[in-house]
């Protein structure tokens, strides 16, 4: 059992849309990611996904509306809901989701990260 400093962990990488694992509990991973630009539309058939903005601004596009998150805010995308994360400038995000969750959901693309790295 060790404490985790999110700011220090975020300093360990610079690439975008490539989540890293920083914790695990009850079958869930706690992940950190740096996001910039637009991601792909996707859904997670069986998993809810929590986005907590550590710094910056993140918009979660849904088919019927946009949800804009500022630093310190979070949003849970329910399983089965199609969504598209967008960050006009770099945003640092903590993700909380089941271990089975692929970053591209039910789509496998060049952005799919199959083997997540622990940092």
User: Do the domain assignments include residue 71?
Assistant: yes
User: Do the domain assignments include residue 106?
Assistant: yes
Among candidates 84, 80, 82, 94, which has minimal Cα distance to 31?
94
Q: Report d(CA 4, CA 106) in Å as an integer.
A: 30
According to the model, what pLDDT value does residue 1 have?
81
User: Do the domain assignments include residue 93?
Assistant: yes
User: Do the domain assignments include residue 104?
Assistant: yes
| Low-confidence residues in the chain, pLDDT < 70 | none
User: Do the domain assignments include residue 99?
Assistant: yes
User: Do the domain assignments include residue 1?
Assistant: no
Give the torsion sign (CA, 86, 46, 106, 12): positive
The answer to whether 4 touches 22, Cβ cutoff 8 Å, is yes
User: Do the domain assignments include residue 15?
Assistant: yes
pTM comes to 0.92
Domain count, the chain: 1
User: Do the domain assignments include residue 53?
Assistant: yes
Residue 71: which CATH number?
2.60.120.10
According to the model, what pLDDT value does residue 106 have?
79
């Amino acid at each position: 059992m060790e404490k985790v400093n999110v700011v220090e962990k975020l300093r360990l990488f610079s690439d975008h849309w490539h989540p890293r694992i920083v914790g695990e509990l009850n079958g869930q991973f706690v992940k950190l990611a740096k996001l910039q630009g637009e991601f792909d539309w996707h859904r997670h058939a069986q998993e809810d996904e929590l986005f907590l903005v550590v710094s910056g601004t993140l918009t979660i596009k849904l088919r019927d509306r946009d949800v804009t998150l500022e630093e310190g805010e979070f949003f849970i995308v329910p399983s089965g809901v199609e969504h598209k994360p967008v960050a006009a400038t770099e945003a640092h995000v903590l993700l909380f989701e089941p271990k089975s969750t692929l970053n591209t959901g039910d789509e496998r693309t060049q952005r799919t990260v199959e083997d997540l790295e622990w940092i």
